[in-house]
């Protein structure tokens, strides 16, 4: 029902369809393929539609795709010129044609089809497709042809279930639940069989017991009775307690003001509560770079043009470089207008992109709408130097304003940037009539398409300096094309655009023919600054024993420099690089690295770090060398993978998980390319940044800044791990303590299945008398203060392993519960063995024995919870003493409630006066809990004195109000 209601609301949303020559209101569920649809401004699209026309000139419209990819920047779509003027119902009603397109799929990055109008074939692409879920902005209306509806739309095809993740503690607890079920089965079968033996031997003499003979019915009745008697050993209520506790823990994460970004107005968000304790056991962090470690706020800092470098990289003396901007010198030279190469360079920056200028009614520039921060930075930089993108019509023309002069570039062909091509090209007719190819992209693809190696050496050297300073680089090239050659290739280009099945492949072939004999102009240098607090956060996470791997698409030099800047790579580290263009080369390189690691292990103070290129990573992932490769990586303190694809990111995470099944991995990123990695890891953290909300939507926890990860792990993670494990162990213990007494009673009652507790009292044990105690432990208990958890990251190491929660710890807690139950029952049994006489002359019976055992067990369990508390709060006192008080109050009420509740509580009428008036009751109430807990107190005193952990020592210093740094390893913490 919860899912049906919102679905019904969406299906009944209103839109407008063209029916019988007029626009008529209709529901979304009535929209069919082939309908003509009108969508108005600020409305969501009900289906995937082919844009025919809009209220704007040339059929342009603006859409927001936040529901698809999380990006809030506006994107531009434009209809075909052949349909852009069809706006009136009469024109649309008379429109005759046919659309041929590909079958429905989940790829939101492409769309191929052909529109036939009056025997003319027009190719259509993603530029004409408006997908369901997008919102129309800054456009009064659009008119489109419905292509896909319902489950066939691209957004619905992408609606895949989020992978189910369970914490290591939860998986371990499930095995312990199975063990308790086996113990339950043993108690049930043993008691049943023992009753059969007792009946066969004693039954003939026990004349006072009716139906006391062995039979199938008798066996079945005893079996069921024993199961009911012992089934409460399994703490079913634990699951409810954990869920409520985790909800509170998630609430604390979301309300933490230290993880709130006031500038972006974004708070931390716990998108799941089932992994709270997993945050306290992280061993590996896999991080994206752009937008995760950096601000994803691109700033143009300089360039190299025709062999001249604008700006310079200056060493700061710490294995890293700072860049001195060359924008001013570049602006001055551009203003002179004498440098032809610089003119071509800036023209390409202004023309070769997909940026759209948005202007007001007075032609004043409002902003540039760009799909990526890189393109926006380049266009704004060109504008700053006098080359302003004035007007643009997709696939038609671009107008550039250069120092007051308007230059019109006619767009003849566009080959957009893809992760496979790593470049973007445009064929344009320049203002002087010449046809030229503008191209920008990665150096690895541009250099191989040059006519001559002229300027390659100088440009490479300059790009290396850019990369050393942590700047992102992009090569710029231009090519001249004769009219005759373009006439020939134009036909191939149009045929490729009209091919539905093999459009990408054919366009790629045409691009290969066009993108050749290019002339290198230079390269750009864009700075993406580190986020605030990233170096200190990484340093502290490393001190916490967490290994950090950076997986980025940047080039090697940029990744290495960022590594030094954020202190992931440090001067005392020895850094090696894994490169190779074939399987044999990578295999040899891995063997060499393995030998190097054996040698460096004997060098004191040296820590290995490894940098891996994307191509070599592809070969290293081969089955024949993968295990050796992962072994090498796991021996390194830091690993940086550059030039990697989204799939390679998720593969790296999977390889580590397979190699180290006990390790907990965390992946953090901010873009759609990080989603596979985030979903592959044990814990996924998404940053809400400029690349959209896809990473945050696919994550388990979302933040706004990388530095907030420190508190999420070192404080919330460590606290939650401590809380969850102690709650699980205590819940198992308290049930064993009270309900195993039933087994001891069975030994002295002929294994009859007789219960010594009143039924309501037994049922309310986990609800009113001990239910609040584990909740207080799980919500308010803590091991160290926030300040010390943040100040001393070394404390986190204690929660990374499984020392606090494993089978040995579980078994010891269970044996302790059995021990306490035995002490309680035997002491009470011995006390009442000679009988007990009340003040009114009556003698004690079965429920007197049960009430004594029950009261002592409640007090013992409450005091045990007090021993396990590390931070007493008001809620701790209320839970422990309130639970004991609840039982005493309930005892009074239940003893005086009959006959007001029918036949309930008839067995315990007047027991409050009998118990409270018995000296034995008060004597045992004080003696037995102290006797049972003597071993626990002695063991805790021994641990606190002789075997204190680092966290316990720091916590002790806190209580004494002393500086905890005196008990920490001096020199291991770097401020």
Q: Catalytic residue numbers?
A: 288
Residue 685 Cα distances to 139, 166, 519, 609, 615, angstroms: 36, 15, 44, 24, 27
Q: Are 666 and 286 in contact (CB under 8 A)?
A: yes
Dmax (CA) of the chain: 122
Q: Cα 13 from chain centroid? A: 32
Say if residue 75 carries a ligand binding annotation: no
401 known ligand binder: no
Q: 117 φ, ψ to 5°?
A: -130, 120
| 440 appears as a binding residue in the annotation | yes
CB 122 within 8 A of CB 82: yes
Angstrom distance (rounded) from CA 751 to CA 307: 96
At residue 568, φ and ψ (nearest 5 deg) are -70, -40
Annotated ligand binding at 472? The verdict is yes
- List all residues 6 or more positions away from 65 whose beta carbon is below 8 Å from its beta carbon: 71, 75, 131, 133, 134
Distance CA 279, CA 699 (A): 13
**Residue 473 forms beta bridges with which residues?**
525
**256-263: long-range contacts, CB 8 A cutoff, minimum separation 24:** 256/711, 256/716, 258/708, 258/711, 259/703, 259/708, 259/711, 259/712, 261/704, 261/705, 261/708
Is 666:285 a contact under the CB 8 Å cutoff?
yes
Scan for tokens 């609840």, then name that residue: 886
Which tokens is 285 given?
A: 């962090």
Q: Of 444, 454, 459, 461, which Cα lies nearest the Cα of 305?
A: 459
Whole-angstrom distance, CA of residue 748 vs CA of residue 109: 75
The pair of structure tokens assigned to 439 is 């191209």
Rounded CA separation 610/616 (Å): 13
Q: Contact 557/613 with Cβ under 8 angstroms?
A: no
Was 649 annotated as part of a binding site? yes
| Three-state secondary structure readout of 684-721 | EEEECECCECHHHHCCCEEECCCCHHHHHHHHHHHHHH
Count CB atoms within 10 A of the CB of residue 458. 16
In angstroms, the CA 747 to CA 742 distance is 9
d(CA 969, CA 633): 28
Q: Are 146 and 33 a contacting pair, CB within 8 Å?
A: yes
Is 288 annotated in some ligand binding site? yes
Tokens representing 915?
């118990």
- How would you classify the pairing of strands 547-551 and 638-642? parallel
Exposed/middle/buried for residue 658 (C-beta within 10 Å: 0-12, 13-18, 19+): exposed
643 labelled as ligand-binding? yes
> Does the annotation list 674 as a binding residue?
yes
Determine which helix (DSSP H) or strand (DSSP E) holds 927, and give its type and residue range: helix 919-946
Contact 276, 246 (CB under 8 A): yes
Cβ-in-10-Å burial (0-12, 13-18, 19+) of 972 comes to: exposed
152 annotated as a binding-site residue: no
The response to whether 498 counts as a known ligand-binding position is: no
Quote the tokens at residue 523. Answer: 């390269």
Per-residue burial over 269-282, b if 16 or more Cβ lie within 10 Å, else e, is bbbbbbbbbbbbbb
DSSP string, 755-811: --S-HHHHHTIIIIISSHHHHHHHHH--SS-HHHHHH-GGGGHHHHSSSSSSHHHHH
In the 8-state DSSP scheme, what is residue 218?
H
Choose among 321, 361, 320, 344: nearest CA to 434: 344
**Residue 690 among known ligand-binding residues:** no
Task: Please give the annotated binding residues for Mg(2+), written as ranges.
Answer: 288, 290, 670, 674
- In the annotated binding site for ATP, the residues are 288-290, 375, 417, 440, 472, 552-554, 643, 649, 673-674
Binding-site residues from annotation: 288-290, 375, 417, 440, 472, 552-554, 643, 649, 670, 673-674
């Amino acid at each position: 029902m919860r899912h049906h209601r919102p679905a019904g609301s969406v299906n009944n949303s209103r839109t407008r369809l063209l029916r019988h020559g007029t626009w008529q209101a209709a529901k979304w569920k009535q929209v069919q393929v082939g309908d003509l649809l009108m969508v108005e401004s600020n409305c969501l699209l009900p289906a995937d539609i082919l844009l025919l026309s809009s209220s704007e000139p040339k059929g342009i419209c603006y859409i927001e795709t936040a529901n698809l990819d999380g990006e809030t920047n506006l994107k531009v779509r434009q209809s075909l010129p052949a349909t852009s003027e069809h706006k009136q119902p009469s024109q649309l009603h008379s429109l005759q044609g046919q659309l041929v397109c590909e079958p429905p799929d989940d790829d939101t990055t492409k769309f191929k089809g052909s529109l036939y109008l009056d025997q003319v074939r027009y190719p259509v692409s993603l530029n004409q497709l408006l997908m369901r879920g997008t919102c129309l902005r800054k456009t009064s209306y659009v008119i489109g042809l419905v292509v896909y509806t319902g489950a066939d739309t691209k957004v619905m095809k992408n609606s895949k279930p989020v992978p189910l993740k369970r914490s290591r503690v939860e998986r371990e607890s499930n095995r312990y639940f199975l063990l308790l079920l086996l113990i339950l089965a043993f108690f049930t079968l043993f008691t049943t069989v023992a009753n059969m033996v007792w009946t066969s031997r004693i039954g003939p003499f026990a004349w006072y017991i009716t139906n006391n003979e062995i039979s199938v019915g008798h066996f079945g009745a005893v079996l069921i009775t024993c199961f009911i008697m012992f089934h409460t050993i399994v703490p079913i209520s634990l699951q409810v307690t954990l869920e409520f506790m985790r909800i509170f823990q998630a609430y604390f994460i979301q309300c933490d003001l230290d993880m709130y970004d006031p500038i972006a107005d974004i708070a931390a968000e716990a998108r799941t509560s089932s992994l709270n304790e997993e945050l306290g056991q992280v061993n590996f962090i896999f991080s994206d770079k752009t937008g995760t470690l950096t601000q994803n706020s691109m700033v143009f800092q300089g360039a190299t043009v025709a062999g001249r470098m604008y700006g310079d990289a200056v060493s700061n003396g710490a294995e890293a470089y700072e860049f001195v901007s060359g924008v001013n010198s570049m602006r001055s030279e551009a203003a002179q207008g004498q440098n032809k190469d610089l003119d071509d360079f800036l023209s390409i920056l202004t023309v070769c992109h997909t940026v759209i200028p948005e202007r007001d009614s007075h032609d004043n520039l409002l902003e540039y709408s760009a799909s990526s921060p890189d393109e926006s930075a380049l266009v704004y930089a060109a504008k700053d130097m006098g080359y302003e993108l004035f007007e643009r019509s997709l696939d038609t023309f671009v107008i550039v304003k250069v120092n007051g002069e308007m230059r019109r570039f006619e767009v003849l062909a566009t080959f957009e940037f893809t992760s496979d091509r790593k470049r973007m090209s445009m064929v344009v007719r320049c203002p002087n009539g010449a046809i030229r190819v503008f191209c920008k992209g990665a150096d690895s693809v541009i250099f191989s398409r040059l006519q001559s190696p002229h300027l390659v050496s100088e440009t490479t050297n300059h790009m290396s300096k850019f990369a050393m300073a942590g700047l992102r680089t992009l090569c710029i090239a231009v090519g001249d094309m004769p009219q005759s050659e373009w006439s020939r290739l134009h036909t191939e280009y149009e045929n490729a655009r009209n091919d539905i099945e093999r459009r990408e492949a054919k366009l790629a072939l045409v691009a290969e023919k066009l993108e050749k004999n290019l002339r290198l102009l230079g390269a750009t240098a864009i700075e993406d600054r580190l986020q605030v607090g990233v170096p200190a956060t990484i340093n502290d996470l490393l001190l916490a024993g967490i290994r950090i791997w950076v997986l980025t698409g940047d080039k090697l030099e940029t990744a290495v420099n960022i590594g030094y800047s954020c202190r992931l790579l440090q001067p005392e580290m020895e850094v090696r690089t894994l490169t190779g263009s074939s399987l044999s080369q990578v295999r040899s390189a891995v063997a060499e690295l393995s030998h190097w690691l054996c040698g460096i292990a004997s060098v004191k103070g040296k820590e290995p770090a490894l940098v891996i290129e994307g191509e070599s990573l592809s070969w290293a992932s081969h089955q024949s060398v993968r295990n050796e490769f992962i072994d090498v990586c796991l021996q390194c303190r830091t690993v940086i993978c550059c030039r990697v694809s989204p799939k390679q990111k998720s593969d790296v995470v999977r390889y580590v998980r397979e190699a180290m099944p006990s390790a907990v991995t965390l992946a953090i990123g901010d873009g759609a390319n990080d989603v596979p990695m985030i979903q592959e890891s044990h814990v996924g953290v998404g940053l809400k940044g400029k690349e959209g909300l896809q990473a945050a939507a696919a994550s388990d926890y979302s933040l706004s800044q990388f530095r907030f990860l420190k508190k999420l792990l070192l404080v919330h993670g460590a606290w939650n791990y401590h809380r969850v494990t102690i709650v699980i162990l205590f819940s198992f213990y308290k049930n064993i303590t009270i309900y195993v007494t039933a087994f001891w009673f069975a030994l002295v009652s002929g294994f009859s299945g007789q219960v010594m507790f009143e039924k309501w009292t037994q049922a309310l044990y986990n609800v009113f008398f001990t239910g609040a105690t584990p909740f207080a432990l799980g919500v308010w208990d803590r091991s160290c203060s926030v300040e010390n958890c943040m100040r001393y990251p070394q404390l986190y190491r204690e929660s990374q392993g499984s020392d606090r929660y494993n089978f040995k710890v579980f078994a010891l807690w269970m044996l302790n519960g059995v021990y306490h139950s035995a002490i309680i029952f035997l002491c009470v049994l011995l006390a009442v063995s000679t009988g007990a006489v009340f003040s009114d002359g009556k003698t004690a019976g079965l429920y007197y024995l049960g009430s004594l055992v029950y009261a002592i067990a409640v007090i013992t369990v409450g005091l045990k919870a007090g021993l396990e508390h590390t931070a007493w709060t008001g809620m701790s006192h209320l839970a422990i003493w309130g639970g004991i008080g609840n039982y005493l109050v309930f005892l009074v009420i239940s003893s005086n409630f009959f006959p007001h509740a029918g036949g309930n509580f008839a067995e315990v009428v007047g027991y409050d006066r009998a118990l409270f008036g018995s000296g034995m009751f008060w004597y045992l109430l004080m003696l037995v809990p102290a006797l049972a807990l003597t071993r626990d107190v002695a063991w805790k005193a021994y641990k606190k004195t002789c075997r204190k952990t680092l966290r316990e020592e720091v916590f002790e210093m806190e209580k004494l109000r002393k500086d905890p740094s005196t008990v920490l390893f001096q020199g291991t913490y770097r401020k």
